[in-house]
A = this chain, B = another copy of it.
Amino acid sequence: MIVSTAWPDHALAALRDAGLRSGGARRAVVAHLARHDCCRSAQEIHDGVRAEGGTVGIASVYRVLDTLVALRLVQRVELGDGVARFEPSTSDGHHHHHVVCDGCGKVEPFSDNALEHALEGVAGRLGFAMDAHEVVVRGACDTCRA
């Protein structure tokens, strides 16, 4: 779950390797994502960067996120509230999923090997070359249930 501290460098290097230039918006979005490694919406990123003095446009945020997703540097996450969220994807293939509490809206990450194995089995059985998957568990957290 820990995003390597080298992630922003890795991401910027990958952008360059892809033949893309280094612009202010890209740097700002990458830096912001690196500081908040779980589930940031485009709006949150936009506001966050602005709060730190940057002047990125919301369009640029979406553009940068699009690029990062295409390069598999960022994973898009949909929690069912109509807002796409984004988080850095680690290069070592280790990733996590999310539980959402219907009561308080709290989001918590988790990872589970049995789950990953089951998904690989399913993909193989169906003749799919799985290159991504998303799991969202919904329920009531212990405090909301009390």
Contact = CB atoms under 8 A, between A and B. Distances in A.
Interface string A85-118: 0000000000000010110000010101011011
A76 interface: yes
Interface in A98-146: 99, 101-102, 108, 110, 112, 114-115, 117-119, 121-123, 125-142, 145
A145 B142 CA distance: 44
Given A108-B126, A135-B135, A117 B119 contact: no
Identical chains in the assembly: 2
Size band of the interface chain A makes with B: 35 or more
Contact of A130 (B117, B127, B138): B138
Contacts of A101: 128
Closest 10 CB pairs of A and B: A115-B118, A114-B118, A127-B142, A130-B139, A132-B138, A128-B139, A133-B137, A129-B140, A112-B122, A134-B136
Given A112-B121, A114-B118, A121-B114, A139 B131 contact: yes
A141 B80 CA distance: 25
